[in-house]
Structure 1
Amino acid sequence: MSQPQIGIIMGSKSDLDVMQDAADVLKELGVPYEITVVSAHRTPDRMFKYAKEAHGRGIKVIIAGAGGAAHLPGMVASLTHLPVIGVPVKSSNSIDGWDSILSILQMPNGIPVATVALNAAKNAGLLAAQIIATANENITQNLIAYKESLAQKVEESAREMQSGI
């Protein structure tokens, strides 16, 4: 892949099972990305450096996944002008994921974080691709084809069910 345009970060390697979905859909759509662990609590200096240097490396959107207190998306958003998409992750110490969801949703005015559903990293990848597609016709066409394939799957399912009735 060429120069990464999307940064996928997560608070812990244990979040990779969820966050891999973002990487997979970006790869499918032909969007170059990077993926790494950046903990707001355990490596705050790494988080500061990542957020402050992302734009200079060509990153256009950051997807940040975190469980529990889930401070990573908001803290990164406070340090960069880039759009940040938060993925609440249901972690082992989570309160059914609600703690993560509410931590990411309840950002103060002036520090927006787009938030997807619990464990919905695929949607975060799609949203990031849609943002990039506003200035990239190839990615636009890939997204159109992707959405058409979703519609085709529904039509196929409907035909299968109707023929079985």
Structure 2
Amino acid sequence: MSNSSIDGIGRVAIVVGSKSDIPIIEKCTTVLDQLGVSWQLKVLSAHRTPFETQQFAVSADENYDVIIAAAGKAAHLPGVIASYTLLPVIGLPIKSSALGGLDSLLSMVQMPKGVPVATVGINEAENAALLACHILSLKYEALRETLKEYRRNMAEDVLRG
């Protein structure tokens, strides 16, 4: 998987805790590419690369507008990143074999007061991308129009059956 859409609208960092999360993330990057949003992928671990994760998060606002952080099992990655930046952080819980992703989900949604992480459903990479785009659309009017068209097309697909 390459870092794509360098010339697109906005700047989304996608951070995964492990390379094994990339197949789920491909659903996210497909949506970002479809909507013309720039993204960059990084593999960092809250536990195995804590220094590098901290350095990324501390300087993230210089390079990005929104962060999507995907992790499984203990899933501390989104919370650790959110503790170092004021950028919006979207947690994407990854389904693990042990508890089916519930452990990841709860690790993200049960953040302490003052360090929020917006969290989507387990393996819901498309929704993570769309939420990032909704946030970006506050700044980029063209993206807001693209999202309106995306919604119209979605509605038409449903109505066609």
Matched, 1:36 2:36: no
- Calculate the TM-score normalised by the size of structure 1: 0.91
DSSP 3-state at the match of 1:110: coil
Two-structure CA RMSD over aligned residues (Å): 1.1
Distance in 2 (CA, whole Å) between partners of 1:97 and 1:5 is 28
Count how many residue pairs are aligned between Structure 1 and Structure 2. Answer: 155
Alignment of 1:65-104 (within 5 A): 65-92=70-97, 94-104=98-108
Alignment of 1:11-160 (within 5 A): 11-57=17-63, 59-92=64-97, 94-157=98-161
Runs of 4+ in 1 over 3 A off after TM superposition: none
- 1:68-104 Cα deviation digits (max 9, x unpaired): 0000000000010101000000124x31111101101
DSSP 3-state at the match of 2:37: coil
1:18 maps to amino acid: I
**Uncovered stretches (5+) of structure 2, i.e. residues with no partner:** 1-5
1:21 maps to amino acid: K
Shift of 1:17: 1.0
Structure with larger Rg: 1
Distance in 2 (CA, whole Å) between partners of 1:135 and 1:113 is 20
- Calculate the TM-score normalised by the size of structure 2: 0.93
